[in-house]
Amino acid sequence: MTLAPYADYQPSPAGWIGQIPAHWDVERIKFSLSERSKVIASGLPAGAISYGRVVEKDGEKILPETLASYQEVRAGEFLINPINLNYDLVSLRTALSELNVVVSPAYIVLRANEAKLDTRYGKYLLHIFDIRHMKTLGAGIRQTIGFSDIGNCKWVLPPLDEQSLIADYIDRETCRIDELIVKKQGLVQLLKEKRDAMISRIVTKGLNPSGATRSAKASWLSAIPRHWSEAPFSAVSEERKTKNMGMRENNLLSLSYGKIVRKDINTNDGLLPASFETYQIIERDDVIFRFTDLQNDKRSLRSAISTERGIITSAYLAVALKGIVPAYFNYLMRAYDLHKVFYAMGGGLRQSLNYDDVKRMPILLPTRDEQIDIINILDRETVRIDSLVQKVTSSIELLREHRTALITAAVTGKIDVRNAA
C-alpha cells in the first residue's frame, strides 16, 4: 500500500530531516532524552551494541578489573556507542535495550522523557539520527563525542499519540521485512551448504558414486574409489620459503573468505608490518594455508589457491605443487577444511600447524583425467550456485535499504501512517 504525505509541511532547522508536517515540533534532543548517571552494578551479564540491538556477550573474555568498571543499562533505556566515529562509518551505534546488562563505561546511557517521547518511536528516530547525522559530530583522532554533542542537536517530535501510531506502523512493517530477510538468509545458507557438500562428495567419492570402493588411509573418510591412489602431502607439495628481500615484489595479497585477494600495500587499514621484506613471495597456482589460531577460530576457511604472483604474510604456509592438478588440490583442501581435518592436528596454546605437521597427511589422487573432469564439473556448478547466492544476497540488501527508507519516511513525516491498517 502506497501512503500519502501529510497535507501541510513546514521547513525544519535540522538539515538531515528535511521538511516536516506543519503540526510537528522541533526541539533539542536533550529535552526528550537525558543522560543517566553511571551506575556500577555487579551480578548482571555483560552486554554491548551489535547490529542496532543490545545483546549479551561473553563476560569470561573480559578481564575482571575491566568488567568491574562496567555501567548498568536497564530494559527501556537507550544506549549509544560514541567512539571511533572517524573511521567506523558502518556500525549501528544506537539501541533501545530490552535487557538488563552492564556495558562499557565509554557508552552513553539515556532515559526518555516519557511526557515527550514514546520510547519505540525514539528508538527509530535515534536510529535515523545515527545513520544520517551523528557520524558527522565530534572531533579528535578517535572522534569521540559526548551527550552534550548529541543533546544540542535538533530533531522532530510529533504529538505523543502520533508517535505511538508511527511506532506501531514501523514495528509491523519492519517485522514483515525482517521475516523475509530471515527466509532469504536461510536460503543463502542452504545454497552454501549444498555447494560445500557437493565439493566434499565429488573430491572424495569421485564422479561415479556406484563404482567399486576401498578403505581410505585418511581416518575421516569411510571409503574412496578403488582405483584412486593416496600419497602423503609432502609427495605432492613443496614448502615455499622465498622471502621478499630487497622488495622484489609489491603485489600484496591476503587470504580472505577462502580466496586470495589483492590488498593496497599503501593503505593504513589493518595491521601491516614496518617492512614487507619479511613477507614471502608466492606464485600462481600455489596453495596457501592459514594454520594459526586453530583453537579459537573454527569457522574461517583456511586454504586458497593463488591466481597470481605476489607477496603474503610469512605466518601463512605456502606450497608449490607437483604431480597433482592445482585446482583439484585446492578443491580437495577445501573439503579437508570443511571436515575440520586440520583442527585435529598440531598443538600448543594457539594450536598452530607448520609444514612438518601436515607433510604425512594422506592426499587422494584420482587419475589426472579424472582430476580435470572433477575441476570442470565443480567450476561449473560452484559458479551456478554462487550466482544464485549473489542474487539472493542482493535481494536481501534491497530489503534492508527499503527497511531504512521506510523508517526514515515514517519518523521524519514524509508519509502519513496514522490511518495505515
State the DSSP code for 139: B
5 assigned to some structural domain: no
Last residue of a domain, one of 337, 361, 385: 361
Q: Which residue has the higher pLDDT, 57 or 237?
A: 237
Residue 7 is assigned to a structural domain of this protein = no
Longest CA span, the chain = 81
pLDDT at 172 over 60: yes
DSSP characters over 204-266: HH-S-TTS-EE--SSTT-S-EETT-EEEEGGGSEEE---B-TT-----BEEEETTEEEE--TT
- Percent of the chain with pLDDT strictly greater than 90: 75
Boundary residue ending a domain (312, 334, 361): 361
Rama region for 16: left / alpha / beta (φ>0; ψ in -120 to 50; rest)? alpha
CB atoms within 10 A of CB 370: 18
Residue 10 located in a structural domain: no
Of the candidates 150, 147, 121, which has an alpha carbon nearest to the alpha carbon of residue 133? 150
Greater confidence, 127 or 273? 127
Rg (CA), the chain: 28
Position 205 scores a pLDDT of 94
Cell of 269: 587499514
Is 263 in the same domain as 336?
yes
If asked whether residues 350 and 270 sit together in one domain, one would say: yes
User: What gap in Å lies between CA 92 and CA 17, rounded to an integer?
Assistant: 18
Measure the CA–CA gap between 17 and 124, rounded to whole angstroms.
13
SS3 assignment, position 305: strand
Range of the domain at 230: 214-361
Q: Examine the pLDDT at 89 and tell me if it is beyond 70.
A: no
Q: What digits encode the pLDDT tens for the residues 195-239?
A: 999 999 999 999 998 899 999 988 888 899 999 999 999 999 999
pLDDT of residue 139: 60
Contact indicator for 399, 180 with CB cutoff of 8 Å:
yes
Q: Specify which of 79-93, 339-353, 394-408 reaches the highest per-range mean pLDDT.
A: 394-408
Inside any domain, residue 234: yes
CATH code at 164? 1.10.287
pLDDT at residue number 219: 82
Q: Residue 34: CB partners within 8 Å, gap ≥ 6?
A: 110, 111, 113
268 and 198, same structural domain? no
- Predicted local distance difference test score (pLDDT) of residue 254: 94
- Contact of 159 with 172, CB cutoff 8 Å: no
Based on the fold, state whether residues 353 and 281 are members of the same structural domain. yes
Q: Rounded to 5 degrees, what are φ and ψ at 376?
A: -60, -45
319-336 b/e (C-beta count within 10 Å ≥ 16 → b): bebeebbbbbbbbbbbbb
Contact present, 173 and 305 (Cβ < 8 Å) = no
Q: Is the pLDDT of residue 350 over 60?
A: no
The percentage of residues in the chain with a pLDDT greater than 70, rounded to a whole number, is 95
Q: 353 and 218, same structural domain? A: yes
Q: What pLDDT sits at residue 273?
A: 77
Q: What is the pLDDT of residue 179?
A: 98
95/141 same-domain check: yes
Same domain, 174 and 244: no
Question: How far apart (Å, rounded) are the C-alpha atoms in residues 140 and 281?
Answer: 39
Is residue 6 in some structural domain?
A: no
The arrangement of strands across the sheet holding 287-289 comes to 237-239, 317-321, 287-289, 303-305
pLDDT at 40: 84
Clarify whether residues 133 and 31 are in a common domain: yes
Are residues 232 and 144 located together in one domain of the fold? no
Q: Report the number of distinct structural domains present in the chain.
A: 3
What's the chain's average pLDDT?
91
- Name the DSSP letter for residue 347: B
Alpha carbon distances (Å) from 66 to 62, 63, 70, 174, 208: 7, 5, 7, 36, 58
Are residues 95 and 31 both part of a single domain? yes
Query: 346 vs 60, 233, 290, 361, 401, CA distance in Å?
Result: 26, 15, 13, 12, 45
* Residue 140 confidence class, pLDDT cut points 50, 70, 90: low
Residue 9 domain flag: no
How distant, in Å, are the alpha carbons of 126, 213, 273, 316 from that of 151?
A: 12, 72, 41, 49
Please say which residue of 361, 387, 407 terminates a domain. Answer: 361
- Does some domain include residue 16? no
CATH number of 85's domain: 3.90.220.20
In this structure, of 25-34, 199-208, 340-349, the range with the lowest mean pLDDT score is 340-349
Mean pLDDT across 407-415:
97
Q: Are residues 129 and 56 in the same domain?
A: yes
Q: Taking Cα atoms as reference points, which of 420, 417, 421 lies closest to residue 162?
A: 417
> Are 173 and 84 in the same domain?
no
Q: What is the pTM of this model?
A: 0.84
pLDDT in tens, 285-332: 999 999 988 877 777 889 999 999 999 999 999 999 999 999 999 999
